[in-house]
């Protein structure tokens, strides 16, 4: 499998997870952290749209890698952010923001997604890399 990177962007800000849903006052489902999540997803969409210009990735299979740079609380000494927010919920927010930014038709095209969290001394955010997968000859003939 060959992967060609087609998008790389760093989005500044504290990463917000897309977690559980709750029923809002109007009876519709909303995210339990709706306001900060909307702002975070808008930041990602805006950053991606500036670089990607609304062009969809023309590929059946896509690879995504995200490194979340988390702010280290002043009293924390552990080397890695092995606490909430969950990395899968952080990734869910990224995938949905990229779908809204029309990077791909549907996030079902993502065949591999990797995500990690690290502490950063000064610049929280997310480094998002997206690649187009080109199967090699053996994979195409199966």
Is 129 in contact with 8 (CB distance < 8 Å)? yes
Rounded CA-CA distance 30/89 in Å is 15
For the segment 30-79, what is each residue's pLDDT rounded down to a tens digit? 666 678 999 999 999 999 998 887 788 889 999 999 999 999 988 999 99
The model's pTM: 0.87
Q: What is the mean pLDDT of the chain?
A: 89
For the segment 80-112, what is each residue's pLDDT rounded down to a tens digit? 999 999 999 999 999 999 999 999 999 999 999
Q: What is the 3-state secondary structure (H, E, C) of 92-140?
A: HHHHHHHHHCCCCCCHHHEEEEEEEEEEECCCCEEEEEEEEEECCHHHH
Q: What is the pLDDT of residue 99?
A: 94
Rounded CA-CA distance 32/24 in Å is 9
Sequence ranges of the domains in the chain: 2-141
Rounded CA-CA distance 51/28 in Å is 34
Q: What is the pLDDT of residue 142?
A: 57
The CATH number assigned to the domain with range 2-141 reads 3.30.1330.70
Structure tokens at 98: 């990229």
Asked which of 13-17, 52-56, 66-70, 132-136 is least confident by mean pLDDT, the reply is: 52-56
């Amino acid at each position: 499998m060959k992967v060609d990177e087609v998008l790389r962007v760093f989005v500044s800000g504290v990463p917000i997870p897309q977690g559980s849903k709750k029923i809002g006052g109007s009876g519709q489902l909303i995210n339990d952290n709706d306001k900060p999540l909307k702002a975070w997803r808008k930041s990602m969409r805006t950053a991606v749209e500036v670089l990607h210009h609304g062009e969809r990735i023309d590929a059946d299979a896509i690879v995504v890698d995200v490194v979340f740079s988390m702010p280290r609380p002043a009293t924390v000494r552990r080397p890695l952010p092995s606490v909430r927010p969950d990395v899968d919920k952080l990734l869910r927010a990224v995938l949905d923001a990229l779908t809204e930014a029309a990077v791909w038709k549907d996030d079902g095209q993502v065949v591999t997604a990797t995500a990690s969290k690290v502490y950063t001394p000064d610049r929280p955010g997310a480094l998002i890399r997206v690649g187009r997968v080109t199967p090699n000859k053996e994979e195409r003939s199966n």
